Structure 1
Amino acid sequence: MQKTVDPSGHDFKRLAAEVPQDVPIVMLNLLKFRAVAAYPPEPGRAEVSGRAAYATYSREVAPILQRRGGRPIWHAEVRSAFIAPEGEDWDEVLLVSYPSVQAFLAMVTSAEYQAVTIHRRAALENARLIATLPDQPKG
Structure 2
Amino acid sequence: MDWVNPSRENFDLFKSLPRDEPVHLLNMIRFRGAALYSEGHPCAGLGWSGERAFEEYFTRVVPFIERLGGGIAWQGTFESMITGPAQFEWDKVFVMGFPTAGAFLALVTDPEYKAEVVDHRTAAVQDSRLVRYRPA
- Verify same fold: TM over 0.5: yes
Structure 1, gaps ≥5 residues long: none
What is the identity, as a one-letter code, of the residue corresponding to 1:134? Answer: P
What is the identity, as a one-letter code, of the residue corresponding to 2:84? Answer: I
The corresponding residue for 1:123 is 124
What is the identity, as a one-letter code, of the residue corresponding to 1:98? Answer: F
The corresponding residue for 1:98 is 98
The corresponding residue for 1:77 is 77
Structure 2, gaps ≥5 residues long: none
Q: Partner of 1:66: helix, strand, or coil?
A: helix
Give how far 1:80 is off.
Answer: 4.7
Distance in 2, Cα, partners of 1:40 & 1:111: 19
What is the identity, as a one-letter code, of the residue corresponding to 1:32? Answer: R
Distance in 2, Cα, partners of 1:35 & 1:20: 37
TM-score of the superposition, structure 2-length normalised?
0.86
Are the aligned partners of 1:64 and 1:112 in contact in 2 as well (CA < 8 Å)?
A: no
The corresponding residue for 1:5 is 4
Aligned-pair identity (%) = 35
Distance in 1, Cα, partners of 2:75 & 2:64: 19
CA-based RMSD of the aligned residues comes to 2.1
The corresponding residue for 2:19 is 21
Size of the aligned set, in residue pairs, is 132
Question: Where has structure 1 moved over 6 Å in runs of 4 or more?
Answer: none
The corresponding residue for 1:53 is 53
Distance in 2, Cα, partners of 1:80 & 1:125: 22
Q: Partner of 1:58: helix, strand, or coil?
A: helix
The corresponding residue for 2:135 is 134
Distance in 2, Cα, partners of 1:131 & 1:31: 15
The corresponding residue for 1:62 is 62
TM-score of the superposition, structure 1-length normalised?
0.84
Q: Partner of 1:104: helix, strand, or coil?
A: helix
Give how far 1:134 is off.
Answer: 1.2
